[in-house]
Amino acid sequence: MGRLKQPEGVKSALRVLDIFELLAQYPDGISLSEISAKLSIPKSSTHSLLATLLSRSYLREGRHDRTYRLGARLFELGSSYMAGADLLTEGQEVVRETAHACDETVHLAILDGNEVLYIAKEEGTNTVRMVSAVGRRFPAYGTGVGKMLLSALAATELDKIYPPEEILMPITSRTITDPSAFRQELAETRQRGYATDFEESTPGLCCIAAPVFGSDDTVVAAISVSVPTVRFTAERQATLRLLVQRGAARLSRVLGYHPRSS
């Protein structure tokens, strides 16, 4: 049976998207010939597409003669999208999906001074689970989400919230209270890209948290999955870490974050 021929309209739409994605890599612009060659599109077709996009302001002339780059209309569309990308609304959906995937309690939290504020949550169905409430506040230094958010602060900002010589008040017997040890914990959290809480905020409860980035590349929130210690095995930790990192990355993309290639 022969291969179905792709409708011409679909092919043109895909080519337009390919052009946008290609030009995003060349802020100063590239020529028609380069676009044609890189995307394997005939020059005549490339010329027609570029002319149409140029006339609608989706493209503009590049910094060099006879080159093309992305235009203002795309910025307008992107701004419209970002206006509708609400952290709470979009975050609740990601929290729900993540909780359903692991059947544990998942939170989305933001940093407010020296406390974390839980703005979204979804509970698992296990008999033993964390029961919490949206709107609840908790000392940031004792939680996984809090340590994740604090690890993203500049040293001067952190020192204003927690003076370097100030001993932290224990929440449980496992809370990190020594200021030097706490800063070391934040450094390790920042380096590995996720935070942990081993019964530091609630006896019998552990969690893993991952950062949520905004369009300006800053950490705007954190997602965590909370698990009773009896279910927090090494194998389970690896699975949950992957789930929460995927959820946080997905929400970050929705909010307009684009990680820079190293």
Residue 260 belongs to some domain of the structure: no
pLDDT for 53-92, tens place per residue? 999 999 998 888 889 999 888 877 776 655 555 788 889 9
Q: What is the mean pLDDT of residues 94-98?
A: 94
- Would you state the structure tokens that stand for residue 225, as one six-digit string? 């999955």
Residues 109 and 227 in one domain: yes
Residues 158 and 71 in one domain: no
Q: Are 196 and 224 in contact (CB under 8 A)?
A: no
Q: Which of 34, 54, 77 is the last residue of a domain?
A: 77
Q: What is the mean pLDDT of residues 155-179?
A: 94
Q: For the ranges 7-16, 43-52, 158-167, 208-217, which has the lowest average pLDDT? A: 7-16
Residues 71 and 164 in one domain: no
Q: Which of 47, 77, 107 is the last residue of a domain?
A: 77
Residue 3 belongs to some domain of the structure: no
Residues 71 and 93 in one domain: no
Q: Which of 44, 60, 77 is the last residue of a domain?
A: 77
Q: Are 68 and 74 in contact (CB under 8 A)?
A: no
Nearest to 108 by CA among 211, 193, 205, 185: 211
Q: What is the mean pLDDT of residues 169-180?
A: 95
Q: What is the pLDDT of residue 131?
A: 47
Mean pLDDT of the chain: 88
Q: What is the pLDDT of residue 6?
A: 57
Q: How far apart are CA 225 and CA 241, in angstroms?
A: 8
Residues 46 and 130 in one domain: no
Residues 166 and 54 in one domain: no
What type of residue is 207? C
Q: What is the pLDDT of residue 208?
A: 96
Count the alpha carbons within 13 Å of 39 in the hemisphere toward its beta carbon.
26
Q: What is the pLDDT of residue 190?
A: 96
Residues 132 and 186 in one domain: yes
Q: How many domains does the chain have?
A: 2
77 or 203, higher pLDDT: 203
62 or 172, higher pLDDT: 172
Residue 262 belongs to some domain of the structure: no
Question: β-pairing, 59-61 with 195-198?
Answer: unpaired
Residues 240 and 139 in one domain: yes
The domain in which residue 66 lies consists of 8-77
Alpha carbon 247 to chain centroid, angstroms: 8
Residue 20 belongs to some domain of the structure: yes
Q: What is the mean pLDDT of residues 17-39?
A: 92
Q: What is the mean pLDDT of residues 96-122?
A: 91
Query: What DSSP state is assigned to residue 147?
Result: H
Residue 24 CB neighbour total at 10 angstroms? 12
Q: What is the mean pLDDT of residues 24-31?
A: 90
- Sign, Cα dihedral of 156, 160, 164, 168: negative
**Phi and psi for 174 in degrees, rounded to 5?**
-110, 5
User: At 238, is the pLDDT very low, low, confident or very high (cuts 50, 70, 90)?
Assistant: very high
Q: What is the pLDDT of residue 133?
A: 63
Q: What is the mean pLDDT of residues 232-248?
A: 94
Q: What is the pLDDT of residue 99?
A: 93
pLDDT for 111-164, tens place per residue? 988 999 898 888 877 654 454 566 788 999 999 999 999 999 999 999 999 999
Radius of gyration of the chain from its Cα atoms, rounded to whole angstroms: 24
Q: What is the pLDDT of residue 258?
A: 82
Burial of 238 (0-12, 13-18, 19+ CB in 10 A): exposed
